[in-house]
Amino acid sequence: MHRFDELTERIARVVYAYTDARLRLDPVPLDRTVDPATLAALAPDPIGPAGNDPEAVMATFERVLAPAVISCDSPRFLAFIPAAPTKASLLFDMVVSASSLSGVSWLEAAGAVHAENQALRFLADLVGLPRDAGGCFVPGGSAANLSALAVARDTARRSGAPTGRRLRVVVGEQAHASIANALRLLDLEPLVVAAPDDRLDGAAVAAALDADGDAASVCAVAATAGTTNAGIVDDLAGVAEVCARHRLWMHVDAAYGGAALLAPSARPRFAGIERADSVVIDPHKWLFAPFDCAALLYRDPALARATHTQDASYLDVIHDEPGVWNPSDLAHHLTRRARGLPLWFSLAVHGTDAYRDAIERVLATARAAAARVAAAPHLELVREPELSIVLFRRRGWAGPDYDAWARRLLDEQVAFVAPSRWHGEPVARLAFLHPGTTIEIVDEVLASTRAG
């Protein structure tokens, strides 16, 4: 299994052929998922004491399993948060795999960590963090939020936060579900602040703290720069003011929206993000990197080390060198794939202007889609999109109508959409992220709302 023998030769041939063909798909077809009984019948379990022909196993993957996945990198995938990895990043992901690149510590992986740090530096500069800011790549925004909030909590405890009771974190009503999960796991309590126009702002946070009888137990504010449901960017400058005044950790969850820092037409919305103590940006979303890649940045990485460094005698050797960078010390992880490298490679090959242009193209598509909705008498825009998510109503429709519409679009392979809710009311939601999503696709999707 570990030699490049005749069997490996055959495996390599089918794998190279598949990956070559998959990478050349343009556009990637949408496909659809199937029910468990169908898959059980078409793809019986091949795992047993004896092996199978690689051609046969690969054929099952190619003909049955791969088409039973809705391709999130199709330009017709407009549900949840889509993906649109560059070909360069996908190809370099194969290099990372083929090289078993680990990115635990400088001792083991200086070259990989050095390159990952260049990609992190690019992101820290976009945010406007100081030179000695830094962080690491983790598998997703959820993991990044958890690691960052752990540091926020421990930093407050170390600097004299009241002991013997739960600390609290201010969150907006539109914060991502992973923030609530992280708080629960960390035994922190959310202080949910309702904000005018669903945008957490400094005045609302200040008023909530003033009205609260126990503001001393609040240790952080978790703001969102690009809510997942509606693409709303909180008033980060106002939040930063309040955090400075009350000496609170400012965390910014920009998992989806952070990429728009690159777009001149959206950059002003993020004013104040440069004052954050921790920031999360998911390159596997709108920075066109493959799964799974989230960037976690700290203003002061030493605070992260104090929380996350794992203390074990067999690890002492990685910590002995002063001044070296160990990604494993900066989040809740140890063994880690050097998952920042595909982003690093693609940025280096294409240049950041190409990223800026691709992100602007997506923003323009979202604005054009919103204009189409506003102009259609049977449709109603829920709010002007700030980034690339468009929420709208179809007059006369209730929840089941939106669901039937989504099913119809997928059946006809026009688009994958997932209806959402806005203040409890069912609405249609289009999430744009793929630069290849054309206004013609948008028109097809909107035309399909006339029926029903």
Ligand X SMILES: *Cc1c(COP(=O)(O)O)cnc(C)c1O
- Site residues (vs ligand X, CB under 6 A): 81, 140-142, 176, 178, 224, 228, 253, 255-256, 282, 294
Q: Contact, 399 vs 425, CB < 8 A?
A: no
For the chain, helix (H) and strand (E) counts, in that order, are 15, 11
| 3-state SS class at 345 | helix
Q: Does 29 sit behind a cis peptide bond, omega within 30 degrees of 0 on the bond before it? A: no
Of 208 and 255, which CB lies nearer to ligand X in the complex structure? 255
Minimum distance from CB of 285 to ligand X (Å)? 6
Nearer to ligand X, 293 or 338 (CB): 293
b vs e for 212-248, b when ≥16 Cβ sit within 10 Å of the residue's Cβ?
A: eeeeebbbbbbbbbbbbbbbbbbbbebbbbbbeebeb
Rounded Cα distance between 143 and 132, Å, is 23
Q: How many CB atoms lie within 10 A of CB 159?
A: 10
Provide the CA 313 distance to its chain's centre, in angstroms: 35
Please, which residue, 176 or 393, has the CB nearer to ligand X? 176
Q: State in angstroms the smallest separation of the CB of 120 from ligand X.
A: 16
Q: Which is nearer to ligand X, 75 or 141 (CB)?
A: 141
Nearer to ligand X (CB atom), residue 58 or residue 290: 290
For the CB of residue 294, give the shortest distance to ligand X in the complex, in Å.
5
CB of 295 to ligand X, least distance (A): 11
Nearer to ligand X, 285 or 299 (CB): 285
Q: How far apart are CA 302 and CA 411, in angstroms?
A: 52
Q: Which residue is nearest to ligand X (CB)?
A: 141
> In sequence order, what DSSP letters do the residues of 40-109 get, joined into one string?
HHHS----SSS---HHHHHHHIIIIIGGGS--TTSTTB-SSS-----HHHHHHHHHHHHTT-B-S-HHHH
Shortest approach of ligand X to residue 142 CB, angstroms?
Answer: 3
Q: Pairing mode, if any, of strands 189-193 and 218-224?
A: unpaired
Q: 176 or 269, CB closer to ligand X? A: 176
Task: Name the minimum Å distance from CB 139 to ligand X.
Answer: 7
Shortest Cβ 432–ligand X spacing (Å): 14
